[in-house]
Structure 1
């Protein structure tokens, strides 16, 4: 009898070709393209000031202008670039660290138990409170957001890896490798880690959604990206003060934020269906 196996890469590619996955991929890809082309679409940069302050939406300033006469759309595109760069770097780092921490229990049971208790402590902090604590230690700004997103994601990735470890540690091929004298780190990376990749990859997409909202929440309270550098959360923070005078100042960045989160959610749902049909 021939046993057919599906490569993980082909399974993920098939998930992204489903209607839900394709819609999410096109949405996130389109937003990423806009962020990448921000210097072309807004050649004046994100800090170029015009003559009219708090002007309503018009062509080419589709989101109007801010209190200094700057194009809100241009600042939103640069802010979108900031958000995508932030979650694109922080979430994979969190995934790698969290997965290794979750699998560390295979090397030492006591170490694994200690790590899980530490992850439980992190899990007890709401994301905003955790971000505020990080900002108070390292100072408000990009690095505070990066560290907060990395730390906040560790429990989810660590628990997924721990679950895979517990389900695979007593399998025959793992026990046989131990009997043959294969080093435990090699067994962990070669035999146990591949079984943890499916849920971890799904969680990466979910973690990016959480990272986007964590950035916006911290920037709204003034502990995220600092002016004049834009981010979607920072634009919402400033725009709320002028909501009655210029509604698009808030509605424009909020629309981009929701579209980004929605696209990432569609991708995570499609990947989850591929992993757990």
Structure 2
């Protein structure tokens, strides 16, 4: 059963969108992982050559302190990936748990849904601003902001899957045999609700990317000198007249990063919904 499910998911990577998405993501992931090898001098190496235009030596040019913008963009991508790698799975697990509380207790399920409704009332960036004001800007605040903003997304997906599976005959049969609620939830309902959660997880990564970028652009994300894609855009906007190409690199990488997960989400969605 597990092998059949895994093969079904892997079929997504044979579709044109899946191939493009995983290829782009693979290249970006390799750059992020091997950034210390590709740029051994790090992201904060300063030179006298400020605001150099793009060249073979500096494909994205240099910033106001003469630092190579390609190196800072790749290290910024590395930072973004580390945030997303922690925040999205955390949000998926907690959101799914809240969404499935209704399977254990009707009262707990109702309270969880009201909590998710409250969170849903705040746009991702606004919610992030509130969290950053409490925690202070930085990596941890971004992780919490993204994780909390994703709870309604995954919670509602999980609850919808629960309500759908609850009406199935195999669940009714398990109850008739005296199987307890927890066992039904873990063995029957949850495995059959994985598909929408997996597709939704890939889609939510795109939102997470822009939440990080939005908070960093307004100065509430990763703090200098450590780069992130959003913080590079924040600084680049200030120097747009001196160096119009300053934001070129971070913008391209941000678009490619979000495009890769959008394509993967579409490919997974097509695969799991294929008859």
TM-based fold match above 0.5? yes
Q: Would you say 1:122 and 2:119 are equivalent positions?
A: yes
Structure 2 counterpart of 1:42: 39
Name the CA shift for 1:5/1:246 in 2 (closer, same or farther; >3 Å).
closer
Indicate conservation of the 8 Å contact 1:168/1:174, yes or no: yes
State the SS of the aligned residue for 2:44: coil
Within 5 Å, give how 1:1-277 maps onto structure 2: 7-277=4-274
Moved more, 172-181 or 162-171: 172-181
Whole-angstrom CA distance in 2 between matches of 1:18 and 1:210: 23
Structure 1 residue 5 displacement after superposition: 11
> Which runs of 5 or more residues in structure 2 are unaligned?
none
TM-score where L is the length of structure 2: 0.96
Whole-angstrom CA distance in 2 between matches of 1:26 and 1:241: 33
Whole-angstrom CA distance in 1 between matches of 2:168 and 2:268: 26
Structure 1 residue 183 displacement after superposition: 2.3
Structure 1 residue 17 displacement after superposition: 1.1
Q: How many residues align?
A: 274
* RMSD, aligned α-carbons: 1.4
Structure 1 residue 125 displacement after superposition: 0.7
Structure 1 residue 226 displacement after superposition: 0.6
Structure 1 residue 119 displacement after superposition: 0.6
Structure 1 residue 8 displacement after superposition: 2.0
Whole-angstrom CA distance in 2 between matches of 1:155 and 1:224: 22
Indicate conservation of the 8 Å contact 1:54/1:64, yes or no: yes
Q: C-alpha deviations, 1:56-88, integer Å up to 9, x for none? A: 111221111111111111000000001111111
Whole-angstrom CA distance in 2 between matches of 1:81 and 1:6: 32
> Which runs of 5 or more residues in structure 1 are unaligned?
none
Structure 1 residue 182 displacement after superposition: 2.1
